Amino acid sequence: MTISGSTLDFHQQSDPEVSVIVVNYGTIDLVVESIESVLARSHGRRTVDLHVVDNASPDGDGDRLRRLHAERAWGTRVVLHFNTENLGFGRANNVALSALAGRATPPRYCFLLNPDARLENEAIDALASFLDEHPEVAAAGAAIARPDGTNVSAAFRFPGVVSEFVQTVNLGLLSRLMPHAKVSLSPDLGQQQVDWVSGAAVMFRFSTLQEIGFFDPDFFLYFEETELMWRLRRAGHAVWHVPSARVLHVAGAATGLQGGRHKSRAQPAYWYDSWRLFHVKTRGIWQARGAALARLVGAGLNIAWHAVFRRPVDVPMHFFQDFHRHVLHPLFLGDPYLARPDGKTTKESVA
């Protein structure tokens, strides 16, 4: 269920060219910084509005958002949407995207910004200008840096059987021998076409996004933007990394994951479910099975290698148990398309 707020004010302003979407789940202080970073920029004199979707956050975030909206006089510039349950990242974005599609005049572009990210420069104008000049491009991603200014990877290759094996083994020599198996591209990558870009700061051509159907609702969290950009690429559209646009990102503030790894070293169930769904939906069941076996063998070699050299094991806690339950069993003995859109298993809830 979704309840939208501040929508009456929205209809009083001219149709924005760019709509920014931020999804909040328990990160209200960071979300305010994100909102203010957008409102503080001129955006090259483009008309911009901002949609904040609260994903049934705990600790009264929704009430605080309502109060802040009034206290800071955000007015028609900020539209609030309130979900009555945690829908995950993709489905929460779909709430705002569907509202935008229902306008008489939808925006030309939509810009997804993580709740723990903020603009470092006129990133929105830089990305919109790039899309203006390149009509064949459907998505453009910004360069991303940590708060200390250190660049992090923001552009990637699509994962496959070989990359799953090389990445999981995590052996320097093997990685150097097979550089094209690396999914993450250089943090200092120049402007160029890539397979996909980080969903933390990406601008889409709205009409193209609408054509391919927004985010797949089967994904709760992780791999949803990768699958979306796979569909964009399959439809013949290009995705580019545009480093002149810069965003600062406090990775993992909302999910507890950094670089796809949980701080506790145990991967949550929804990560495994999303990993499986991505491979099945993009490569087919047989290649998904191959990727699963490659990751399984890679994990075993990783453990053996690190044991020989007495190094800490670089495999998530409970990996074999969780991988069997959420990946191997559905792929080989059950339903490969099994989805848990609420992100929950029998006794687990997402925090």
Sort strands 78-83 and 137-145 into parallel, antiparallel or unpaired: unpaired
- pLDDT of 309: 79
Judged by phi (left if over 0) then psi (alpha if -120 to 50, else beta), residue 213 lies in left
Chain segment 124-144, per-residue pLDDT in tens: 999 999 999 999 999 999 999
Q: Are 101 and 229 in contact (CB under 8 A)?
A: no
- Listed by start position, the domains of the chain span 2-154+189-251, 261-332
Q: Are 40 and 10 in contact (CB under 8 A)?
A: no
Q: Which of 11-25, 146-160, 200-214, 281-295 has the lowest mean pLDDT?
A: 11-25
- Looking at the predicted structure, is the pLDDT value of residue 268 above 50? yes
Alpha carbon distance 331, 314 (integer Å): 24
Average pLDDT of span 263-270: 77
- The domain over range 2-154+189-251 is classified in CATH as 3.40.50.720: no
pTM over 0.75: yes
Chain segment 74-107, per-residue pLDDT in tens: 998 999 999 999 999 999 999 999 999 999 999 9
Whole-angstrom CA distances from 234 to 42, 193, 225, 230, 274 are: 35, 14, 14, 6, 20
Average pLDDT of span 333-351: 61
Question: What does the CA dihedral 9, 12, 13, 18 come to, rounded to 10 degrees?
Answer: 60
